[in-house]
Amino acid sequence: MKETKIGIIGLGGVAQLIHLPILSKLKNVKINAVAEINKNRLKTVAGKFNIPHKYTDYKKMLEEVELDAVIVATPTKSHSEIAIEVMKHGKDVMIEKPVAINYVEAKKVDDAAKKYKRKAVVGMNFRYRPDAMLLKSLINSGEIGTPFYIRCGWTRKQSSSEKWIQRRKEAGGGVLFDLGIVLLDLGIWLIGYPPIKSVSAQTFSHKVKGVEDSAVGFIRFKNSAVMNFEVSWSLHSEKDSFNLTVFGTEGTGHLNPFRAYKKIESTRIDYTPASSANPKNLFKKSYENELKYFISVIQGSSNILSSSSEALTRIKLLEALYESAEKRAEVIVG
């Protein structure tokens, strides 16, 4: 198999803790170059992972180094500009979530993918959790009947300690952009992307200024299914918590821990494994599976699972939720 050459732009926490350790262990994958504006970080990280080419100017990297694809892991504000430049140079791209700070910028990325005929993948690692994939399989096979209600929540500290994540102009938003987009994407993916009819949301800013640190909301789908969610960086809790339940007409599926049941008359079939996986292992495995899948997409052996086109609908959803929170009213999604 041909060696796949990867470049990474942005060497923050997700690159150092996730992308680099995983990619460095994959067969037939070479991290050929990295770009980072912080010179000390660039030197340290490139040295640690024995990366042959390092740049403070990512455009120079794109011009000088042989690469098959690039991972964009910079602050959200720069995603669209960098991703477009990557594709303009004839390389496929994976953009860490969210794809961009707003719908207009996200549309530019998707238009560029079509114009330059490149593969643009958006990182949505929760789809690649082993328990989520198992639940997806059960739903697709009809084991729990027709899904009609999703209840979910995610409470944890913000994903980055960098100051940009609390600045709306740089991050796009607060906890909805950080945690909400991943949680909502997972739920909508699980039930097969039904069109959204309307949304209602309330946001709170108790611990940070400029962006929301908590949000609760309700989504109505055109097929009559509904989704209730809450996300927060600041809700008081003993530990980080992620949970999602899909209620179907014939059964129920839970995540974290995974449990699934099907009702048949007066009995119940239990699909729950004898032992549940460690949440930390599931989180790590989700990124391993995602990056392996991205490599297979680059090599042409898999279709894109989370494309820039699909990401447009998620950004549109977030903007509708913010509109609802601002108006304190339900918003119809066009």
In the prediction, which pLDDT does 287 show?
A: 96
Contact (Cβ atoms closer than 8 angstroms) between residue 230 and residue 153: yes
Phi-psi category of residue 141: left, alpha or beta, with phi > 0 → left and psi -120 to 50 → alpha: alpha
Cα 168 to Cα 2: distance, rounded to the nearest angstrom:
42
**59 in any annotated domain:** yes
Tracing tokens 């929301």 back to the chain, one arrives at 212
**250 in any annotated domain:** yes
Please identify, among 105, 125, 145, the residue that sits at the C-terminal boundary of a domain.
Answer: 125
Phi-psi category of residue 219: left, alpha or beta, with phi > 0 → left and psi -120 to 50 → alpha: beta
Alpha-carbon dihedral angle through residues 156, 233, 125, 149, given to the nearest 10 degrees: 90
Q: What CATH number does the domain containing 206 carry?
A: 3.30.360.10
In the prediction, which pLDDT does 63 show?
A: 98
Q: Say if residue 116 is in the same domain as residue 135.
A: no
In the prediction, which pLDDT does 70 show?
A: 98
What is the full per-residue pLDDT of the chain (334 aa) written as tens digits? 689 999 999 999 999 999 999 999 999 999 999 999 999 999 999 999 999 999 999 999 999 999 999 999 999 999 999 999 999 999 999 999 999 999 999 999 999 999 999 999 999 999 999 999 999 999 999 999 999 999 999 999 888 778 888 988 998 999 999 999 999 999 999 999 999 999 999 999 998 888 999 999 999 999 999 999 999 999 877 678 999 999 999 999 999 999 999 988 888 899 998 777 777 788 899 999 999 999 999 999 999 999 999 999 999 999 999 999 999 999 999 7
**296 in any annotated domain:** no
Q: Say if residue 140 is in the same domain as residue 268.
A: yes
Q: Say if residue 38 is in the same domain as residue 158.
A: no
Q: Say if residue 109 is in the same domain as residue 161.
A: no
Half-sphere exposure of 149 (CA within 13 A, CB side): 7
**308 in any annotated domain:** no
Range of the domain at 57: 4-125
Q: Say if residue 139 is in the same domain as residue 39.
A: no
In the prediction, which pLDDT does 321 show?
A: 98
**225 in any annotated domain:** yes
Q: Say if residue 155 is in the same domain as residue 280.
A: yes
Cα 246 to Cα 259: distance, rounded to the nearest angstrom:
11
Q: What CATH number does the domain containing 52 carry?
A: 3.40.50.720
Please identify, among 125, 149, 166, the residue that sits at the C-terminal boundary of a domain.
Answer: 125
Q: Say if residue 55 is in the same domain as residue 130.
A: no
Report the sign of the C-alpha dihedral through residues 46, 50, 53, 58, in that order. Answer: negative
Query: How many CB atoms sit inside 10 A of residue 251's CB?
Result: 23
Q: Say if residue 86 is in the same domain as residue 164.
A: no
Tokens representing 10 are 């942005």
Distances from the Cα of 206 to the Cα of 160, 295, 320, angstroms: 18, 41, 22
Q: Say if residue 10 is in the same domain as residue 108.
A: yes
* Residue in 196, 200, 199, 203 with CA at minimum distance from that of residue 168: 203
In the prediction, which pLDDT does 238 show?
A: 67
Please identify, among 88, 105, 125, the residue that sits at the C-terminal boundary of a domain.
Answer: 125
**190 in any annotated domain:** yes
In the prediction, which pLDDT does 239 show?
A: 75
**307 in any annotated domain:** no
Q: Say if residue 111 is in the same domain as residue 169.
A: no
Q: Say if residue 67 is in the same domain as residue 155.
A: no
Contact (Cβ atoms closer than 8 angstroms) between residue 195 and residue 156: no
Domain count for the chain, please give it. Answer: 2
**301 in any annotated domain:** no
Tracing tokens 């350790």 back to the chain, one arrives at 21
In the prediction, which pLDDT does 273 show?
A: 85
Contact (Cβ atoms closer than 8 angstroms) between residue 261 and residue 252: yes
Q: Say if residue 158 is in the same domain as residue 251.
A: yes
